[in-house]
Amino acid sequence: MIKNISSWAEQIIIAVILVTIIEMILPKGNSKKYIKTILGVFILYTIISPAIKFITGSSPQIDYSDYEKYFGTNEITASVEVPSLEDTYKVELEKQIKTDIEKLGYNAYNIKTDMNLKEGIINKISLTISKEKKDENSISVSINKIEIGNEDLEKKSDTKEIKEIKQKLSDDYGVNYENITINSK
């Protein structure tokens, strides 16, 4: 009996440590609350599974036998094009950056990221921002000012606002400040 309780406590401790590590590596964003909910259910399952086993006499089982009945075949057909995990992560990251910029009162366009998913780092971020309010039914055309003979244009355009946005992106996403390029409309 003591051995079972000890094993149960070990499982709970391992689950809590695992969940804590996963929460630390999660990117900031709207999906974080959903992932935390799933992790909470995992911890709850870890806590109550021995009680279910004690009451029913067996471990809880999930029956997959009716899967084909409800969902058809259990294989993904070759005609279905599934986006890669890297592509999905990149799209979601760019959406999150756009949301963060919009919270600061700017519109964000042409967001591009360069990442190394094997190392889990973002190398570069480039985007265009504008202060104007964007009406979804209108078409916006802008003409950027062209200066001839000004080699130091990018450094000149680093206003206080752009520096603050760069610093926020650098802090939030762990990107080197110099590797963030922001153009303003």
Q: Is the pLDDT of residue 114 over 60?
A: yes
Q: Six-digit token pair at 144?
A: 């950027």
Percentage of the chain lying above the pLDDT 70 cut: 70
Give tens-digit pLDDT for 48-67: 887 777 777 666 566 666 65
Domain ranges of the chain: 2-71, 85-133+151-184
The per-residue pLDDT for 17 is 92
User: Under CATH, which architecture does the 85-133+151-184 domain have?
Assistant: 2-Layer Sandwich (3.30)
For the chain, the three-class secondary structure string (H helix, E strand, C coil) is CHHHHHHHHHHHHHHHHHHHHHHHHCCCCCCHHHHHHHHHHHHHHHHHHHHHHHHHCCCCCCCCCCHHHHHCCCCCCCCCCCCCHHHHHHHHHHHHHHHHHHHCCCEEEEEEEEEECCCCEEEEEEEEEECCCCCCCCCCCCCCCCCCCCCCHHHHCCCHHHHHHHHHHHHHHCCCHHHEEEEEC
Confidence at 108, pLDDT banded by 50, 70, 90: confident
pLDDT one-digit tens code per residue, 27-41? 777 788 888 888 888
What gap in Å lies between CA 100 and CA 121, rounded to an integer? 18
Report whether pLDDT(165) > 60. yes
The dihedral formed by the CA atoms of 116, 171, 131 and 178, expressed in degrees to the nearest 10: -60
**Mean per-residue pLDDT, 76-81:** 52
How much is the pTM?
0.45
Query: Which of 35-39, 64-68, 162-166, 175-179 shows the lowest mean pLDDT across its residues?
Result: 64-68
The pLDDT score that the predictor gives to residue 171 is 87
Choose the weakest-confidence range: 22-31, 72-81, 89-98: 72-81
